[in-house]
Chain A
Amino acid sequence: NAGVMQNPRHLVRRRGQEARLRCSPMKGHSHVYWYRQLPEEGLKFMVYLQKENIIDESGMPKERFSAEFPKEGPSILRIQQVVRGDSAAYFCASTQWDSTTNYGYTFGSGTRLTVV
């Protein structure tokens, strides 16, 4: 049973380009969460999605960032017109239910975005 799969593992983009980060949840999980880790900081919640629905995007920057979790396929975190401040590690997690268990989340290995 594969864990949460994120790709790419590393992504380099020039300022102004678009970044697309993919997350495939664990089998049987229909709830996906994205977190961002800026350098030397802890993870911060960005968005919570269920299939075809955004449940909570309170942690998402209002501009340039969007997320989706289509009926088929992985969840996508999209950052348009990237800036240097977007350089961070982006982690995805998934759960079967709409809350964490006593084991917290299972996180993917993260995507490290570098904007040059």
Chain B
Amino acid sequence: KNEVEQSPQNLTAQEGEFITINCSYSVGISALHWLQQHPGGGIVSLFMLSSGKKKHGRLIATINIQEKHSSLHITASHPRDSAVYICAVRTLYNTDKLIFGTGTRLQVFP
């Protein structure tokens, strides 16, 4: 079993829909990252969080440390949000090493 699990693996949505991507992990962590990878391959860091909730534009990330779970929400989704979203954790015992989930492929149709 992977230390970081994401669901769903694939997600399609109509423009304007509210989207939720989930990440569960089984190790103790110091922080969790949400990354976005566009079809061209480039990776952008969206959020790094260790507790609570962060918001940036239409993106919201939440984390529940006790339940070892994080969610990434996209409000009013748009075709340009189509990308792979990757959850990654920094463990307590090696805070420099990221362990990645397998990613969620999101396609938003107009």
State yes or no: do A and B come from one complex: no
Name A residues whose Cβ lies closer than 8 Å to a Cβ of B: none
